Amino acid sequence: MSVLPPLRLGVNVDHVATLRNARNGRAPDPVRAALLAIEAGADGITAHLREDRRHIRDDDMTRLKAEISKPLNFEMAATEDMLRIALATGPHAVCLVPERREELTTEGGLDVVGQQKALAPFITRLNDAGVRVSLFIAADPAQIEMAAKLRAPVIEIHTGAWCDAVVADDKAKAESEWQRIVSGAALAQSAGLEVHAGHGLDYVTAEKIAALPQIVELNIGYFMMGEAMFVGLTQTVLDMRAAMDRGRKTLRTYL
Protein backbone atom coordinates (compact mmCIF):
# COMPACT_ATOMS: atom_id res chain seq x y z
CA MET A 1 0.00 0.00 0.00
CA SER A 2 1.62 3.28 -1.05
CA VAL A 3 1.70 6.26 1.30
CA LEU A 4 -0.11 9.25 -0.14
CA PRO A 5 1.73 12.59 -0.15
CA PRO A 6 0.35 15.09 2.38
CA LEU A 7 -2.51 17.28 1.21
CA ARG A 8 -2.21 20.99 1.95
CA LEU A 9 -5.21 23.19 2.70
CA GLY A 10 -5.03 26.71 1.31
CA VAL A 11 -7.78 28.91 2.72
CA ASN A 12 -9.06 31.64 0.43
CA VAL A 13 -10.01 34.78 2.37
CA ASP A 14 -11.51 36.82 -0.51
CA HIS A 15 -15.02 36.69 0.85
CA VAL A 16 -14.10 38.11 4.21
CA ALA A 17 -13.13 41.17 2.19
CA THR A 18 -16.40 40.95 0.21
CA LEU A 19 -18.30 41.33 3.47
CA ARG A 20 -16.04 44.13 4.71
CA ASN A 21 -16.44 46.03 1.46
CA ALA A 22 -20.24 45.85 1.70
CA ARG A 23 -19.94 48.65 4.27
CA ASN A 24 -16.60 50.02 3.12
CA GLY A 25 -15.16 49.76 6.59
CA ARG A 26 -12.33 47.84 8.23
CA ALA A 27 -14.17 44.80 9.54
CA PRO A 28 -14.26 41.90 9.04
CA ASP A 29 -10.54 41.88 8.29
CA PRO A 30 -9.26 39.23 5.84
CA VAL A 31 -5.85 39.29 7.54
CA ARG A 32 -7.45 38.41 10.87
CA ALA A 33 -9.27 35.54 9.14
CA ALA A 34 -5.97 34.38 7.60
CA LEU A 35 -4.20 34.39 10.97
CA LEU A 36 -7.05 32.45 12.58
CA ALA A 37 -7.20 29.94 9.73
CA ILE A 38 -3.45 29.32 10.09
CA GLU A 39 -3.78 28.92 13.85
CA ALA A 40 -6.48 26.32 13.19
CA GLY A 41 -4.25 24.37 10.80
CA ALA A 42 -4.40 25.91 7.32
CA ASP A 43 -1.18 25.37 5.36
CA GLY A 44 -1.41 28.55 3.35
CA ILE A 45 -3.58 31.52 2.45
CA THR A 46 -4.95 32.35 -0.97
CA ALA A 47 -6.24 35.74 -2.05
CA HIS A 48 -7.28 37.07 -5.45
CA LEU A 49 -6.47 40.66 -6.30
CA ARG A 50 -9.03 41.35 -8.99
CA GLU A 51 -8.69 44.16 -11.46
CA ASP A 52 -11.86 45.80 -10.08
CA ARG A 53 -10.71 45.27 -6.42
CA ARG A 54 -14.15 43.98 -5.57
CA HIS A 55 -12.88 42.11 -2.54
CA ILE A 56 -9.13 41.96 -1.78
CA ARG A 57 -7.33 45.30 -2.08
CA ASP A 58 -3.68 46.11 -2.58
CA ASP A 59 -3.02 46.79 1.08
CA ASP A 60 -4.66 43.47 2.06
CA MET A 61 -2.03 41.69 -0.02
CA THR A 62 0.76 43.73 1.56
CA ARG A 63 -0.53 42.99 5.06
CA LEU A 64 -1.10 39.31 4.30
CA LYS A 65 2.47 38.96 3.11
CA ALA A 66 3.81 40.82 6.15
CA GLU A 67 1.70 39.14 8.81
CA ILE A 68 1.11 35.51 7.94
CA SER A 69 3.58 32.77 8.78
CA LYS A 70 2.50 30.38 6.01
CA PRO A 71 2.79 30.66 2.21
CA LEU A 72 0.75 33.32 0.43
CA ASN A 73 -0.80 32.27 -2.88
CA PHE A 74 -1.49 35.44 -4.90
CA GLU A 75 -4.22 34.87 -7.51
CA MET A 76 -4.25 37.30 -10.40
CA ALA A 77 -4.92 37.86 -14.06
CA ALA A 78 -1.89 37.92 -16.35
CA THR A 79 -1.59 41.68 -16.75
CA GLU A 80 1.45 43.96 -16.47
CA ASP A 81 -0.16 45.88 -13.63
CA MET A 82 -0.78 42.73 -11.59
CA LEU A 83 2.67 41.37 -12.32
CA ARG A 84 4.23 44.56 -10.98
CA ILE A 85 2.18 44.33 -7.76
CA ALA A 86 2.90 40.62 -7.34
CA LEU A 87 6.64 41.06 -7.81
CA ALA A 88 6.64 43.93 -5.30
CA THR A 89 4.65 41.81 -2.81
CA GLY A 90 6.86 38.74 -3.20
CA PRO A 91 4.37 35.97 -2.47
CA HIS A 92 5.34 32.31 -2.27
CA ALA A 93 3.16 31.52 -5.29
CA VAL A 94 1.16 33.22 -8.02
CA CYS A 95 -1.85 31.49 -9.51
CA LEU A 96 -2.69 32.92 -12.92
CA VAL A 97 -6.44 32.97 -13.49
CA PRO A 98 -8.68 34.25 -16.29
CA GLU A 99 -10.66 37.31 -15.34
CA ARG A 100 -13.63 39.09 -16.78
CA ARG A 101 -15.23 41.96 -14.93
CA GLU A 102 -18.78 40.76 -15.53
CA GLU A 103 -18.29 37.31 -14.01
CA LEU A 104 -19.48 36.50 -10.48
CA THR A 105 -16.41 34.41 -9.78
CA THR A 106 -13.62 32.80 -11.81
CA GLU A 107 -15.93 30.93 -14.13
CA GLY A 108 -13.63 28.90 -16.34
CA GLY A 109 -10.02 27.87 -16.57
CA LEU A 110 -7.28 29.76 -18.37
CA ASP A 111 -7.03 29.04 -22.08
CA VAL A 112 -3.32 28.25 -21.97
CA VAL A 113 -3.40 26.80 -25.49
CA GLY A 114 -5.03 29.88 -27.05
CA GLN A 115 -2.98 32.37 -25.00
CA GLN A 116 0.37 30.64 -24.93
CA LYS A 117 2.23 33.57 -26.48
CA ALA A 118 0.75 36.07 -24.04
CA LEU A 119 1.24 33.85 -20.97
CA ALA A 120 4.77 32.64 -21.65
CA PRO A 121 6.56 35.87 -20.58
CA PHE A 122 4.55 36.05 -17.34
CA ILE A 123 5.51 32.50 -16.45
CA THR A 124 9.16 33.18 -17.26
CA ARG A 125 9.31 36.39 -15.24
CA LEU A 126 7.66 34.81 -12.21
CA ASN A 127 9.89 31.74 -12.48
CA ASP A 128 12.93 34.02 -12.68
CA ALA A 129 11.78 35.91 -9.58
CA GLY A 130 11.55 32.65 -7.65
CA VAL A 131 7.76 32.79 -7.38
CA ARG A 132 6.05 29.43 -7.86
CA VAL A 133 3.67 29.80 -10.80
CA SER A 134 0.44 27.90 -10.97
CA LEU A 135 -1.98 27.94 -13.92
CA PHE A 136 -5.68 27.59 -13.11
CA ILE A 137 -6.98 25.34 -15.89
CA ALA A 138 -9.69 22.84 -16.69
CA ALA A 139 -8.56 19.21 -16.57
CA ASP A 140 -8.22 19.18 -20.32
CA PRO A 141 -5.28 17.22 -21.83
CA ALA A 142 -4.31 19.95 -24.31
CA GLN A 143 -4.27 22.63 -21.58
CA ILE A 144 -2.27 20.40 -19.24
CA GLU A 145 0.31 19.57 -21.88
CA MET A 146 0.69 23.23 -22.79
CA ALA A 147 1.12 24.20 -19.11
CA ALA A 148 4.03 21.76 -18.91
CA LYS A 149 5.48 23.02 -22.19
CA LEU A 150 5.40 26.59 -20.92
CA ARG A 151 7.37 25.47 -17.84
CA ALA A 152 4.78 26.31 -15.23
CA PRO A 153 5.74 24.13 -12.25
CA VAL A 154 2.16 23.83 -10.97
CA ILE A 155 -1.40 23.61 -12.28
CA GLU A 156 -4.56 24.10 -10.30
CA ILE A 157 -7.40 22.03 -11.70
CA HIS A 158 -10.67 23.97 -11.87
CA THR A 159 -13.18 21.85 -9.95
CA GLY A 160 -16.12 24.23 -10.41
CA ALA A 161 -18.06 22.29 -13.06
CA TRP A 162 -17.73 19.05 -11.07
CA CYS A 163 -18.76 20.69 -7.78
CA ASP A 164 -21.76 22.41 -9.40
CA ALA A 165 -22.92 19.08 -10.85
CA VAL A 166 -22.56 17.37 -7.45
CA VAL A 167 -24.57 20.11 -5.71
CA ALA A 168 -27.23 19.99 -8.48
CA ASP A 169 -27.36 16.19 -8.08
CA ASP A 170 -26.73 15.80 -11.82
CA LYS A 171 -25.15 12.37 -11.54
CA ALA A 172 -24.17 11.88 -15.17
CA LYS A 173 -22.46 15.25 -15.42
CA ALA A 174 -20.82 14.84 -12.00
CA GLU A 175 -19.39 11.48 -13.06
CA SER A 176 -18.06 12.73 -16.40
CA GLU A 177 -16.50 15.81 -14.77
CA TRP A 178 -15.00 13.59 -12.07
CA GLN A 179 -13.45 11.27 -14.63
CA ARG A 180 -11.99 14.29 -16.41
CA ILE A 181 -10.35 15.37 -13.13
CA VAL A 182 -9.06 11.85 -12.37
CA SER A 183 -7.38 11.46 -15.75
CA GLY A 184 -6.23 15.10 -15.85
CA ALA A 185 -4.49 14.77 -12.47
CA ALA A 186 -2.70 11.61 -13.64
CA LEU A 187 -1.65 13.19 -16.93
CA ALA A 188 -0.40 16.34 -15.18
CA GLN A 189 1.72 14.37 -12.77
CA SER A 190 3.21 12.31 -15.56
CA ALA A 191 4.07 15.57 -17.36
CA GLY A 192 6.05 16.64 -14.28
CA LEU A 193 3.54 19.15 -12.94
CA GLU A 194 2.60 19.62 -9.29
CA VAL A 195 -1.19 19.34 -9.09
CA HIS A 196 -3.51 21.51 -7.01
CA ALA A 197 -7.30 21.79 -7.22
CA GLY A 198 -9.94 24.29 -6.26
CA HIS A 199 -13.20 26.11 -6.84
CA GLY A 200 -16.55 25.30 -5.34
CA LEU A 201 -15.24 22.61 -2.98
CA ASP A 202 -17.22 21.74 0.14
CA TYR A 203 -16.82 18.95 2.72
CA VAL A 204 -18.23 16.28 0.38
CA THR A 205 -16.22 17.16 -2.71
CA ALA A 206 -13.05 17.93 -0.72
CA GLU A 207 -13.24 14.49 0.88
CA LYS A 208 -13.66 12.80 -2.47
CA ILE A 209 -10.91 14.66 -4.29
CA ALA A 210 -8.53 14.17 -1.34
CA ALA A 211 -8.31 10.52 -2.40
CA LEU A 212 -6.55 11.47 -5.64
CA PRO A 213 -2.88 10.86 -4.84
CA GLN A 214 -1.53 13.32 -7.42
CA ILE A 215 -3.23 16.29 -5.77
CA VAL A 216 -1.13 17.96 -3.09
CA GLU A 217 -3.07 21.17 -2.40
CA LEU A 218 -6.71 22.27 -2.26
CA ASN A 219 -7.66 25.95 -2.29
CA ILE A 220 -11.04 26.58 -0.71
CA GLY A 221 -12.85 29.78 0.18
CA TYR A 222 -16.50 30.49 -0.42
CA PHE A 223 -17.98 27.40 1.25
CA MET A 224 -15.67 27.73 4.25
CA MET A 225 -16.48 31.37 4.87
CA GLY A 226 -20.20 30.57 4.67
CA GLU A 227 -19.79 27.75 7.19
CA ALA A 228 -17.70 29.98 9.42
CA MET A 229 -20.72 32.23 9.94
CA PHE A 230 -22.47 29.37 11.71
CA VAL A 231 -19.73 27.39 13.45
CA GLY A 232 -16.77 29.79 13.43
CA LEU A 233 -13.69 29.76 11.24
CA THR A 234 -11.59 27.61 13.59
CA GLN A 235 -14.18 24.84 13.60
CA THR A 236 -14.62 25.11 9.83
CA VAL A 237 -10.88 24.66 9.24
CA LEU A 238 -10.85 21.67 11.61
CA ASP A 239 -13.87 20.13 9.87
CA MET A 240 -12.39 20.69 6.41
CA ARG A 241 -9.10 19.17 7.49
CA ALA A 242 -10.98 16.17 8.91
CA ALA A 243 -12.87 15.73 5.60
CA MET A 244 -9.59 15.88 3.66
CA ASP A 245 -7.94 13.41 6.04
CA ARG A 246 -10.86 10.98 5.67
CA GLY A 247 -10.56 11.19 1.90
CA ARG A 248 -6.79 10.82 1.93
CA LYS A 249 -7.05 7.65 4.00
CA THR A 250 -9.45 6.06 1.54
CA LEU A 251 -7.26 3.99 -0.68
CA ARG A 252 -8.59 4.37 -4.17
CA THR A 253 -7.23 2.95 -7.37
CA TYR A 254 -6.56 6.23 -9.10
CA LEU A 255 -2.80 5.73 -9.00
Q: Which residue's CB is nearer to ligand PXP, number 12 or number 189? A: 12
From the candidates 199, 207, 217, 227, give the one annotated as an active-site residue.
199
Least distance in angstroms from the C-beta of 10 to ligand PXP: 8
Q: Which residue's CB is nearer to ligand PXP, number 136 or number 162? A: 136
Q: Which residue's CB is nearer to ligand PXP, number 38 or number 76? A: 76
Orientation angle between helical segments 30-39 and 233-249, nearest 10 degrees: 50
Least distance in angstroms from the C-beta of 251 to ligand PXP: 26
Interface positions with ligand PXP (CB under 6 A): 12, 14, 48, 75, 95, 97, 105-106, 136, 156, 198-201, 219-223
To 5 degrees, how large is the angle CA 175–CA 180–CA 186?
Answer: 125
The helix/strand/coil state of 136 is: strand
The helix/strand/coil state of 218 is: strand
Least distance in angstroms from the C-beta of 73 to ligand PXP: 8
Going by C-alpha positions, the residue among 85, 82, 74, 214 that lies closest to residue 139 is 214
Q: Which residues pair with 94 in a beta bridge?
A: 74, 133
Least distance in angstroms from the C-beta of 226 to ligand PXP: 10
From the candidates 15, 48, 158, 196, give the one annotated as an active-site residue.
48
Q: Which residues pair with 155 in a beta bridge?
A: 135, 195
Least distance in angstroms from the C-beta of 159 to ligand PXP: 8
Are 160 and 107 in contact by the 8 Å Cβ rule? The answer is yes
Q: Which residue's CB is nearer to ligand PXP, number 105 or number 235? A: 105
Are 196 and 219 in contact by the 8 Å Cβ rule? The answer is yes
Is 158 catalytic? The answer is no
Is 75 catalytic? The answer is yes
Q: Which residue's CB is nearer to ligand PXP, number 212 or number 255? A: 212
Beta strand pairing call for 215-220 and 132-137: unpaired
Is 194 catalytic? The answer is no
Say how far apart CA 210 and CA 221 lie, in whole Å.
16
13 phi and psi angles, rounded to 5 deg: -100, 15
Going by C-alpha positions, the residue among 124, 77, 111 that lies closest to residue 97 is 77
From the candidates 55, 75, 194, 207, give the one annotated as an active-site residue.
75
Which residues participate in catalysis according to the annotation?
A: 48, 75, 199
